[in-house]
């Protein structure tokens, strides 16, 4: 970016001064007595000739590299002085002329003829304007013949005196300013660059040299500086770039050395279990110092510290670069109670052979005795009291116990009122050895029923503990014998016949003998019944009708 200053000589010469070194380089003779210079937003230089110049009170464009001038137009004639200042906010060139009677006007930068807009001023100008500086879209700072600095609004309102000058100053220069207190910092510290006098620009961008940048819109409110925290150590080349939409230039450059900062991490539990002590450790290798509640613990400069005193503990480590850090969060040692551990079972009492699951509660991890695993099903073989140790997130422990009762299975019997019956007979089945019984085949315990065929019946017996067992009984159902009677069933009156029963083992005739054969001589038709019993004791009957026929007597006639 160019910084331009002119010197008043017999012939006005345009010169360029390096603000970093103060060296002035002559560009060329302007060829006339110029009284004021100003840049527009694109960097174009303008100049105004003063009274007595040839031509006087005229606006020129000036080539910054050669000092060649190009006439634009003649301006109004004033008594003294011609001062210019470009307002980048409205793209107008402001013009001050006169001494006793001050003239303030503005001209569009794009005008090709003198078409000023007069600005009616208020307040005290205190005489001829010597120099003007663009301060903000609505304000300038001017110097005047009365050796004063004043604020002047773009609408012509003169403010109070800001400062008195040591002499009459012509022209006001406020180059961009950037300041930083140091160029060597520790990793994680904030590196700050302050900025000022950036009102001629739209934005300032800080390139921090680590691949990041901060782009800031210039507000004319003194908030144009920036800060940055380097996440890694090294040497970084910082560039500051100003931009006004036309001119974009690196205005400043510096190197920042970022030394590494130690990383402090404290390990150890912050929860103090009853009757315990805790040890805090760090892995640092620099100069170490432990702190308790923000106060140095004298002599505690090793990598570990053991305590049972409640409070906040931290450690600082300082490395060879002098960079220090502590843990981001110190450990606060607090008293914590032991967990209230519970021992839980899916069933306090089970039947022999049944599964059970034991689980601990009130802690984080659990260890059981008797080879039991927390939450895993197993089959106890005898009544046992099981103990569990529960450990919480703080490492504190407690115990609990639970008894699991293992009940033996009942010895169930299946009983029948008869082991074998004849078809049509009834039987009663009853269970034994338990409290309640459930039979299959729709049989009800101790309720008589009539089986239709030989069947095995199974009973499920449940005792008072809810334990079950089974037993079975077979009921044999025998069929009835098929009884038949043989012999003549039609006889003559006065004759007899022998009836013989068949199909069983024993027989009993109604009103007759208990033999298979029965000789009868009825005088009338009679039905005879025999009751027969087979080897199984099953009984059946048979009947037969004996018909008696009348004897016809023959009569002989002579």
DSSP secondary structure letter of residue 10: S
Number of domains the chain contains? 6
- Report the alpha-carbon distance of residue 339 to residue 545 in Å, rounded: 99
Q: Are strands 420-422 and 468-478 parallel, antiparallel or unpaired?
A: parallel
Nearest 10 degrees: Cα torsion 158, 161, 167, 169: -40
**Are residue 303 and residue 422 in the same domain, yes or no?**
no
- Write down the pLDDT at residue 552: 64
301 found inside a domain: yes
Residues 366 and 430 in one domain: no
Q: Is the residue at 265 inside a domain?
A: no
Task: Say whether both 468 and 530 belong to one domain.
Answer: no
Strands 397-407 and 384-391: antiparallel
Q: Does a structural domain hold residue 171?
A: no
Is 46 within a domain?
yes
Domain shared by 223 and 364, yes or no? no
432 and 541 share a domain?
no
> Quick check: is 408 in a domain?
no
Q: What is the pLDDT of residue 173?
A: 78
The set of residues, in sequence order, having a beta carbon less than 8 Å from that of 77 and lying 6+ positions away, is 56, 57, 97
64 shares a domain with 88: yes
Of 310, 335, 360, the residue that ends a domain is: 335
Residue 273 in 3-state DSSP? coil
Report how far residue 394's alpha carbon sits from residue 443's, in angstroms, rounded to the nearest whole number: 62
Q: How far is CA 22 from the centre of its chain?
A: 60
Q: Would you state the pLDDT for residue 161?
A: 94
Q: Do 247 and 1 touch, CB atoms closer than 8 A?
A: yes
Q: Convert 35-70 to b/e letters by CB count within 10 Å (16 or more is b).
A: bbbbbbbeeebbbbbbbebeebbbbbebebeebebe
CATH code where residue 417 lies: 2.60.40
| Rounded Cα gap, residues 35 and 61, in angstroms | 14
In a domain, 172, yes or no: no
Model confidence over 350-409: pLDDT tens digits?
A: 999 999 999 999 999 999 999 999 999 999 999 999 999 999 999 999 999 999 999 999
Q: Is the peptide bond before 410 cis (omega within 30 degrees of 0)?
A: no
Q: Point out the domain boundary residue: 431, 458, 478.
A: 478
Q: How far apart are CA 444 and CA 386, in angstroms?
A: 42
- The bridge status of strand 349-351 relative to strand 397-407 is parallel
Q: 115 with 28, same domain?
A: yes
Other Cβ atoms within 10 Å of 229 Cβ, number = 12
Which structural domain range is residue 110 located in? Answer: 4-164
Note whether 482 and 423 are within 8 A (CB): no
Same domain, 305 and 382: no
| Contact predicate 391/365, CB 8 Å | yes
Residue 187 and residue 143 share a domain? no
Tokens for 550? 């009348």
Q: Are 86 and 70 part of one and the same domain?
A: yes
Query: Which of 335, 351, 386 is the C-terminal boundary of a domain?
Result: 335
181 CB-contact burial (10 Å; exposed 0-12 / middle 13-18 / buried 19+): exposed
Name the stretches of the chain with pLDDT < 50. 1-8
Query: What is the C-alpha to C-alpha distance for residues 538 and 536, in angstroms, rounded to an integer?
Result: 5
Report yes or no on 329 lying in a domain: yes
* Residue 109 located in a structural domain: yes
Do residues 277 and 201 share a domain?
no
Report yes or no: 216 and 263 within 8 Å, Cβ to Cβ.
Answer: no
Range list of β-strands (E), 294-341: 295-296, 304-307, 311-318, 324-326, 331-335
- Indicate if 67 and 17 belong to the same structural domain: yes
Q: Residue 89: count other Cβ atoms within 10 Å of its Cβ.
A: 14
pLDDT value at residue 77: 62
CATH number of the domain residue 250 falls in: 2.60.40.10
């Amino acid at each position: 970016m160019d910084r331009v200053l002119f010197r008043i000589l017999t012939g006005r010469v345009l010169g360029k001064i390096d603000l970093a070194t103060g060296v002035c380089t002559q560009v060329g003779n302007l060829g006339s007595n110029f009284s004021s210079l100003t840049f527009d937003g694109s960097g174009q230089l303008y100049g105004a000739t003063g009274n007595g110049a040839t031509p006087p009170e005229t606006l020129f464009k000036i080539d910054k590299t050669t000092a060649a001038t190009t006439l634009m137009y003649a301006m109004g004639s004033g008594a003294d002085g011609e001062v210019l200042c470009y307002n980048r906010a409205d793209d107008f060139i402001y013009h001050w002329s006169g001494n006793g009677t001050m003239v303030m006007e503005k001209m569009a930068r794009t005008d090709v003829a003198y078409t000023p807009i007069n600005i009616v001023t208020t307040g005290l100008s205190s005489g001829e304007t010597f120099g003007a500086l663009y301060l903000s879209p609505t304000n300038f700072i001017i110097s005047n013949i009365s050796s004063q600095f004043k604020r002047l609004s773009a609408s012509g309102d003169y403010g109070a005196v800001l400062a008195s000058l040591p002499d009459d100053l012509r022209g006001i220069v406020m180059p961009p300013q950037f300041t930083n207190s140091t160029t060597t910092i520790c990793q994680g510290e904030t590196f700050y660059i302050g900025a000022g006098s950036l009102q001629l620009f739209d934005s300032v961008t800080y390139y921090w040299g680590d691949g990041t940048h901060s782009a800031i819109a210039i507000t004319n409110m003194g908030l144009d500086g920036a800060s940055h925290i380097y996440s890694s150590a090294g040497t970084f080349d910082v560039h500051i770039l100003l931009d006004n939409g036309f001119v974009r230039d690196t205005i400043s450059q510096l190197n920042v050395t970022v030394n590494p900062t130690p990383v402090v991490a404290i390990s150890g539990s912050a929860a103090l279990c009853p009757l315990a002590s805790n040890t805090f450790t760090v892995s640092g290798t620099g100069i170490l110092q432990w702190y308790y509640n923000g106060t140095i613990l004298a002599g505690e400069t090793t990598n570990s510290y053991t305590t049972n005193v409640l409070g906040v503990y931290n450690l600082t480590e300082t490395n060879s670069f002098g960079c220090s850090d502590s843990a981001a969060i110190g450990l606060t040692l607090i008293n914590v109670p032991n967990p209230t551990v519970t021992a839980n079972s899916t069933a306090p009492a089970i039947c022999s052979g049944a599964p059970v699951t034991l689980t601990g509660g009130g802690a984080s991890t659990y260890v059981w005795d008797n080879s039991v695993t927390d939450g895993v099903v197993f089959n106890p073989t005898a009544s046992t009291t099981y103990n569990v140790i529960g450990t919480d997130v703080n490492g504190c422990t407690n115990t609990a116990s639970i008894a699991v009762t293992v009940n033996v299975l009942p010895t169930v019997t299946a009983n029948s009122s008869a082991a074998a019956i004849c078809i049509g007979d009834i039987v009663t089945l009853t269970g034994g050895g338990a409290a309640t019984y459930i039979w299959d085949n729709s049989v009800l315990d101790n309720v008589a029923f009539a089986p239709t065929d030989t069947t095995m019946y199974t009973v499920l017996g449940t005792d008072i503990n809810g334990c079950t067992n089974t037993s079975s009984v077979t009921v044999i159902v025998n069929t009835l014998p098929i009884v038949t009677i043989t012999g003549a069933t039609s006889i003559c009156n006065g004759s007899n016949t022998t009836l013989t029963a068949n199909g069983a083992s024993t027989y009993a005739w109604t009103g007759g003998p208990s033999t298979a054969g029965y000789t009868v001589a009825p005088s009338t038709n009679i039905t005879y019944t025999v009751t027969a019993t087979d080897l199984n004791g099953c009984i059946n009957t048979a009947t037969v009708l004996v018909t008696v026929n009348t004897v016809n007597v023959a009569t002989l006639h002579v």
